[in-house]
């Protein structure tokens, strides 16, 4: 294979395997991608398709499109497949999801109708509100995982794809903690053979993917590819992984507002986040155990950005609450409402109110596209294990035990672009510290949390 700067050529077909193929996010992603391919829609919200990247010094005025700068797969090279626990083609499922209006769906009906899910691996205990009638059967979890591997191999041959990426757009599973069975490749393999109760369906998909050399992206807050056994397998097999939980609506806003408060040394006494949504995701999250998984993901953000231990006068003991309410009339059109109580000079209180009338899957679809393309790039650039530079897209970025997650959207954006520059052998955008050392911009906020000057 021809390579640019050590990155393998993007030629050939890229298979995109979606878990939860019939869901709102997956079908919105598919409908939009087909519409873009036909030239009847623009890839709005996709950084890989619309974003630029500065190369060299500011004065050089060189801002190529990201997709022209790095060798990404073209949309025409994508071939789609995946699994669900309902047997509907992607057109029927998109019509049910009601995210994309009927006239827009009709324009890509043929393409959507051609996509059928393979039967999923499902255990109701992990998603209490769903019933799966289109599911695989086997005596052990190991055998189920092997069936998924067979599916991957068959898909590759039938669709004549050169390489693959798997992305979880399935439902949020119940809250799980890391147990002994998750700690090593050996314990996990034994656990699959013994039907260990701590092994979830999402872990079986991830295991199958990575065993087949296929990168795995986790779009839900599930405990999956952040367990040590799966990270170890990814590193051993040279496969990139990333996650978790797409950063789309309220958390996107939170990771912009919180850094602003901190940069200006404004205090926070409380942040109340409430959501109403009526899609199937909302119904699943109505179950307390699935909600807990989501809540943990949404709550972790503020402490990590505000660092209360460094700024006790500003962020000690603020009240942070996240509520998600299932409210059927809204469908996918979520309302995310934030009430933020802040304080300033001489402790005088102020309030911020943000009411985001968003569309969940419209925000998620371009993220799916970007993650698929960038993860394929990472694979061709021979990167393996956790891809922290993709934190930009996640509410709860998975990270190595030696590092801390980065939540600030703009630091994440710089980190992502610097990684692309580095991949292409271009100079990173850096600061120069007091000793004359060049520091990547994203590391310029040192571990002591103090902003260093240029």
Ligand X SMILES: NC(=O)c1ccc[n+]([C@@H]2O[C@H](COP(=O)([O-])OP(=O)(O)OC[C@H]3O[C@@H](n4cnc5c(N)ncnc54)[C@H](O)[C@@H]3O)[C@@H](O)[C@H]2O)c1
- Regarding 23 and contact with ligand X (CB under 6 A), the answer is yes
- Regarding 20 and contact with ligand X (CB under 6 A), the answer is yes
Record the tokens describing residue 319, joined without a space: 């009240």
- Regarding 22 and contact with ligand X (CB under 6 A), the answer is yes
Q: Where in 168-187 is the site for ligand X (CB under 6 A)? A: 169-172
- Regarding 364 and contact with ligand X (CB under 6 A), the answer is yes
* Interface region with ligand X, contact rule CB under 6 A, candidates 17-25, 42-50, 57-65, 305-313: 17-25
Q: What are phi and psi of 271, to 5 degrees?
A: -140, 110
DSSP 8-state secondary structure symbol assigned to residue 120 = B
Phi-psi region at 412: left, alpha or beta (left = phi > 0; alpha = psi -120 to 50):
alpha
* Interface region with ligand X, contact rule CB under 6 A, candidates 47-55, 144-152, 355-363, 436-444: 355-363
Classify strands 430-432 and 14-19 as parallel, antiparallel or unpaired.
unpaired
Alpha helices in 238-344 (DSSP H): 250-263, 280-285, 288-306, 312-315
- Regarding 397 and contact with ligand X (CB under 6 A), the answer is no
The residues pairing with 273 across neighbouring beta strands, listed in sequence order, are: 322, 338
Phi-psi region at 134: left, alpha or beta (left = phi > 0; alpha = psi -120 to 50):
beta
* Interface region with ligand X, contact rule CB under 6 A, candidates 50-58, 136-144, 164-172, 190-198: 164-172
Choose among 288, 307, 305, 308: nearest CA to 296: 288
Which residue, 369 or 420, is less far from ligand X as judged by CB?
369
**Residue 231 CB, nearest approach to ligand X (Å):** 21
- Regarding 83 and contact with ligand X (CB under 6 A), the answer is yes
**Residue 371 CB, nearest approach to ligand X (Å):** 12
**Residue 236 CB, nearest approach to ligand X (Å):** 25
**Residue 114 CB, nearest approach to ligand X (Å):** 18
**Residue 219 CB, nearest approach to ligand X (Å):** 5
CA 29, distance to chain mean position in Å, is 13
- Regarding 379 and contact with ligand X (CB under 6 A), the answer is no
Record the tokens describing residue 51, joined without a space: 């974003």
Q: Where in 202-221 is the site for ligand X (CB under 6 A)? A: 219-220
- Regarding 418 and contact with ligand X (CB under 6 A), the answer is no
- Regarding 257 and contact with ligand X (CB under 6 A), the answer is no
Q: Which of 361, 375, 387, 396 binds ligand X (CB under 6 A)?
A: 361
- Regarding 136 and contact with ligand X (CB under 6 A), the answer is no
Q: What are phi and psi of 86, to 5 degrees?
A: -125, 140
Choose among 266, 173, 270, 262: nearest CA to 224: 173
Choose among 220, 206, 215: nearest CA to 23: 220
Q: Which of 7, 19, 70, 381 binds ligand X (CB under 6 A)?
A: 19
DSSP string computed for 47-95 = HHHH-B---S-GGG----BHHHHS-PPPGGGEEEEEEESS---HHHHHH
> What is the spatial distance between Cα 218 and Cα 233, in angstroms, rounded to a whole number?
16
**Residue 177 CB, nearest approach to ligand X (Å):** 19
Which residue, 311 or 337, is less far from ligand X as judged by CB?
337
Choose among 361, 365, 385: nearest CA to 375: 385
**Residue 88 CB, nearest approach to ligand X (Å):** 8
Which residue, 70 or 365, is less far from ligand X as judged by CB?
365
Contact 358, 310 (CB under 8 A): no
Roughly what angle, to the nearest 10 degrees, separates helices 228-237 and 201-211? 10
Which residue, 112 or 314, is less far from ligand X as judged by CB?
112
- Regarding 417 and contact with ligand X (CB under 6 A), the answer is no
Q: Count the neighbouring beta carbons within 10 Å of the beta carbon of residue 124.
A: 12
DSSP string computed for 213-235 = T--EEE-SS-SSTTSHHHHHHHH
Q: Where in 224-253 is the site for ligand X (CB under 6 A)? A: 245-246, 248-249
- Regarding 394 and contact with ligand X (CB under 6 A), the answer is no
Which residue, 167 or 423, is less far from ligand X as judged by CB?
167
Give residue for tokens 């004549």. 160
**Residue 108 CB, nearest approach to ligand X (Å):** 18
Q: Where in 313-342 is the site for ligand X (CB under 6 A)? A: none
**Residue 245 CB, nearest approach to ligand X (Å):** 5
Q: Which residue is nearest to ligand X (CB)?
A: 23
Contact 39, 100 (CB under 8 A): no
Binding-site string for ligand X from residue 84 to residue 123, where x marks contact by CB under 6 A and - marks none: xxx----------x----------------------xxx-
User: Nearest-5° angle of CA 124, CA 206, CA 243?
Assistant: 100
Which residue, 332 or 442, is less far from ligand X as judged by CB?
332
Binding site for ligand X (CB under 6 A): 19-20, 22-25, 83-86, 97, 120-122, 127, 130, 169-172, 201, 219-220, 245-246, 248-249, 279-281, 284, 360-361, 363-364
């Amino acid at each position: 294979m021809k390579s640019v700067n050590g990155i393998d050529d993007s030629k050939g077909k890229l298979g995109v395997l979606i878990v939860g193929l019939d869901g709102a996010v997956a079908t919105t992603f598919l409908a939009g991608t087909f519409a873009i391919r036909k030239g009847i829609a623009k890839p709005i919200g996709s950084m890989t398709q619309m974003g630029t990247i500065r190369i060299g010094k500011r004065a050089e005025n060189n801002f190529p499109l990201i997709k022209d700068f790095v060798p990404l797969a073209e949309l025409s090279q994508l071939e789609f497949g995946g699994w669900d626990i309902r047997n509907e083609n992607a057109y029927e499922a998109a019509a049910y999801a009601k995210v994309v209006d009927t006239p827009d769906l009709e324009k890509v009906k043929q393409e959507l109708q051609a996509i059928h899910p393979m039967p999923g691996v499902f255990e109701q205990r992990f998603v209490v509100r769903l019933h799966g009638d289109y599911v695989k059967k086997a005596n052990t979890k190991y055998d189920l995982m092997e069936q998924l591997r067979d599916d991957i191999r068959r898909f590759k041959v039938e669709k004549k794809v050169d390489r693959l990426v798997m992305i979880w757009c399935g439902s949020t599973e119940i809250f799980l903690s890391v147990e002994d069975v998750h700690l090593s490749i050996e314990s996990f393999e034994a656990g699959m053979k013994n039907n260990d109760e701590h092994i979830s369906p999402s872990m079986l998909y991830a295991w199958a993917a990575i065993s087949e050399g296929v990168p795995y992206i986790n779009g839900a807050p599930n405990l999956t590819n952040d367990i040590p056994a799966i990270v170890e397998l990814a590193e051993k097999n040279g496969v990139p992984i990333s996650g978790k939980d797409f950063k789309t609506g309220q958390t996107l806003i939170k990771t912009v507002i919180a850094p602003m408060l901190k940069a200006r040394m404004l205090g926070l006494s409380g942040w109340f986040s409430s959501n109403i949504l009526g899609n199937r995701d909302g119904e699943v999250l109505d179950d307390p155990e699935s909600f807990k998984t989501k809540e943990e993901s949404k709550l972790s953000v503020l402490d990590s950005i505000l660092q209360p231990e460094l700024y006790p006068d500003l962020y000690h003991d603020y009240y942070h609450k996240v509520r998600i309410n299932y409210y059927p009339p809204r469908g996918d059109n979520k309302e995310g409402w934030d009430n933020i109580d802040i304080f300033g000079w001489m402790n005088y209180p102020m309030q911020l109110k943000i009411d985001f009338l968003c569309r969940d899957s419209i925000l998620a679809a371009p993220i799916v596209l970007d993650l698929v393309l960038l993860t394929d790039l990472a694979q061709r650039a021979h990167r393996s294990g956790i891809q922290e530079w993709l934190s930009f897209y996640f509410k709860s970025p998975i990270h190595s035990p030696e590092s801390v997650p980065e939540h600030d959207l703009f630091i994440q954006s710089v980190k992502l672009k610097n990684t692309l520059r580095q991949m292409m052998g271009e100079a990173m955008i850096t600061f120069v510290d007091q000793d004359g050392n060049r520091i990547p911009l994203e590391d310029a906020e040192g571990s002591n949390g103090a902003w260093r000057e240029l």
